[in-house]
């Protein structure tokens, strides 16, 4: 895959990619836990990938100071991006924070920082697993 110039991509585009990247990590994790029924996979995955969960994860990342300055910049780019879509199951602020969360994953993935993506995904999965 070609690396992208993240500075040329808007926050929504970064979040579009990041959403898929994080979701794959969650799906792989759930399957590794022996969850195989589609309904159970979906119900459990929501606990990890919902806007509410992602907003919680951003607060945990801030508390643990694990984001780089560059990642914070891309988080803000995603959070502040103007989207034509609206939040379905959450408030606008939580939805925007989750877009920023996804932008971090998109930025790291598209710029070839795969070890960092894996580190952040595993951190997030662990944090959510502690909550459920």
| Whether 19 is catalytic | yes
pLDDT digits (tens, 9 = 90+) for 37-76: 999 999 999 999 999 999 999 999 999 999 999 999 999 9
Q: Domain of 15: which CATH number? A: 1.10.1520.10
Domain containing residue 103: 6-131
Is residue 105 one of the residues assigned to a domain? yes
pLDDT digits (tens, 9 = 90+) for 68-105: 999 999 999 999 998 777 777 889 999 999 999 999 99
pTM confidence score:
0.93
Q: Please state the domain count of the chain.
A: 1
Catalytic-role residue among 19, 28, 64, 91: 19
Is residue 78 one of the residues assigned to a domain? yes
Q: Are 69 and 95 in contact (CB under 8 A)?
A: no
Is residue 50 one of the residues assigned to a domain? yes
Is residue 35 one of the residues assigned to a domain? yes
Alpha carbon of residue 75 to chain centroid: 10
Show the tokens assigned to 17. Answer: 């990619």
Is residue 1 one of the residues assigned to a domain? no
């Amino acid at each position: 895959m070609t690396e992208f110039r993240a500075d040329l991509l808007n926050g929504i585009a970064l979040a579009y990619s990041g959403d898929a990247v994080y979701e794959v990590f969650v799906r792989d994790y759930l399957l590794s836990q022996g969850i195989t029924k589609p309904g159970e996979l979906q119900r459990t995955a929501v606990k990890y990938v919902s806007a509410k969960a992602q907003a919680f994860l951003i607060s945990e990342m801030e508390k643990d100071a694990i984001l780089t300055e560059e990642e914070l910049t891309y988080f803000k780019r995603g959070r502040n991006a103007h989207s034509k879509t609206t939040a379905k199951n959450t408030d606008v602020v939580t939805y925007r924070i989750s877009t920023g969360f996804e932008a971090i994953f998109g930025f790291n993935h598209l710029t070839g920082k795969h070890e960092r993506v894996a580190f952040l995904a595993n951190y997030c999965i662990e944090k959510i697993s502690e909550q459920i």
